Amino acid sequence: MDLDFWWLLIIPVAFALGWMAARYDLKALLSESANLPRSYFRGLNFLLNEQPDQAIDAFIEVVKLDPETIELHFALGNLFRRRGETDRAIRIHQNLLSRADLPANEHSHALIELGQDFLKAGLLDRAEETFARLDSGEHALAAQRALLTIYEIEKEWRKAIETAAKLEAMGAPSLVKEVAQFRCELAQEALNRKNGAQAADELALALEANPQNVRATILAGDVAAAAGEHEAAIAAWRRVEEQNATYLPLVAEKLMKAYTALSRADEGAALLTEYVKRYGSSDLLDIAYPHVAALRGDDVAHTLAREQMRASPNLAGMMRLIEAQMAAAEEPRRSELELIRMLIKQRTKNLPRYTCQNCGFRARLFYWQCPGCSGWETYAPRRVEPIATPQ
């Protein structure tokens, strides 16, 4: 009985306390809102109505009336940067940084925003200098990521490797795929300078970072071929099948050149024929066809193209079938087939061949790094629309 009596007292008291607290919070909120300039609310209204120009004008008026509104400075800077007005964004963030009373956390926030302004404006040196100042704190990880982007743009591959190591030490996801590609870039530069020894060293480090890096294996074959070691080049390029067979079209022509240099062109044609049958690749067929026709005859090449067309109809196979029929046809049939061939060629010559699996950027050339999103190994070496090699 006594317990029921106390509950009857506690419930009304708790309700009254909650009501009083809610009234106090509401009064505090109304008091704070009353202190804000009307321009602030007009700016918010413009933003909600997707009118950024009017919102910026309203917020600028607020900043003039109350320079202490730090968060509003950041909001304005972001708006300017998104609109491409990087000079105005830079001025806003530089003004913030010039304030002696700016708290430490807001100072680092202003630095990261200023670095993004410089990066958006293409002022890479100034962006690098700004991000380098953020070597600790809550924005350090974002700064290192931005530095990595800068070094990739500037092709400063050694700095990119060092920055990737810092990012991993700070807890970022593994960057072994990127590091292996950076090593491959260094190897390609060394190969261009005809420094095979340095290229080989970089490729060894690339494969140490990522043993499945196909590009390093392909470049290892290029290094051997440049030194005249065609057997070693063939061995390297054939390892691509073990790593990822979809990349075989990237080495098919290289293999034929190496076998030809060793006076074993027929062996090379046989290998490419086997690849076409095993993997059903129209890209491989497009490369293998002229070599098979030259070494084994048009009938053998025709049969290979016909079998591939039955397994996977495509424009490359169609082009090759028409060429095979042209070789055996007489006038006027040959002229008719040539007309069909030219129409297909005209239809396909400007089509994009490869599509980035990350951003969808389409290109006629194969890239290890997407020009659209800068992602590495995002292009499948399989063409979207098979295109015959121009004659």
Rounded to whole angstroms, what are the CA distances from 222 to 58, 218, 251, 284, 383?
61, 6, 10, 19, 23
Tens of pLDDT, residue by residue, the chain (391 residues): 454 544 444 455 455 445 444 444 434 433 444 445 554 545 545 544 555 556 555 555 554 444 556 777 777 788 788 888 898 888 888 877 887 877 888 889 989 999 999 999 999 999 999 999 998 888 999 999 999 999 999 999 999 999 999 999 999 999 999 999 999 999 999 999 999 999 999 999 999 999 999 999 999 999 999 999 999 999 999 999 999 999 999 999 999 999 999 999 999 999 999 999 898 777 888 889 889 989 988 788 878 878 877 777 666 667 767 776 776 677 777 777 777 777 777 666 655 578 888 888 888 788 898 888 889 988 888 765 544 444 4
Query: Is 184 annotated among the ligand-binding residues?
Result: no
What predicted TM-score, i.e. pTM, was given to this entire model? Answer: 0.75
Q: How far apart are CA 244 and CA 232, in angstroms?
A: 19
| CA contacts within 13 A on the Cβ side of 352 | 9
Query: What is the DSSP code (8-state) at residue 312?
Result: S
Ranges of CATH 1.25.40.10 domains, the chain: 68-172, 174-243
Helix/strand/coil for 139: coil
| CATH code 1.25.40.10 for 68-172 | yes
Tell me the angle at which helices 140-154 and 157-169 cross, rounded to the nearest 10 degrees. Answer: 160
Would you state the pLDDT for residue 64? Answer: 47
Rounded to whole angstroms, what are the CA distances from 347 to 336, 344, 390?
17, 5, 12
- Return the CA Rg of the chain: 32
Q: How far apart are CA 383 and CA 283, in angstroms?
A: 7
Q: How far apart are CA 363 and CA 341, in angstroms?
A: 23
Would you state the pLDDT for residue 145? Answer: 95
Would you state the pLDDT for residue 129? Answer: 96
For residues 175 and 164, the answer to whether their CB atoms sit within 8 Å is yes
Cβ partners under 8 Å of residue 84, min gap 6: 120
For residues 321 and 313, the answer to whether their CB atoms sit within 8 Å is no
Would you state the pLDDT for residue 26? Answer: 36
Which CATH code is given to the segment(s) 174-243? 1.25.40.10
Which CATH code is given to the segment(s) 246-351? 1.25.40
DSSP for 207-275, written as a single string = HHH-TT-HHHHHHHHHHHHHTT-HHHHHHHHHTHHHH-GGGTHHHHHHHHHHHHHTT-HHHHHHHHHHH
Strand partners, 354: 363
By the 10 Å C-beta count (0-12 exposed, 13-18 middle, 19+ buried), 207 is classed as: middle
**Phi, psi angle pair for 122, to nearest 5°:** 80, 10
**Other C-beta atoms lying within 10 Å of the C-beta of residue 343:** 10
Strand partners, 337: none
29 is written with which tokens? 């909120």
Burial 249-270 (b: 16+ CB within 10 A, else e): bbbbebbbebbbbeeebeebbb
Query: Is 373 annotated among the ligand-binding residues?
Result: yes
Burial 29-41 (b: 16+ CB within 10 A, else e): eeeeeeeebebbe
Residue written as tokens 């917020």?
59
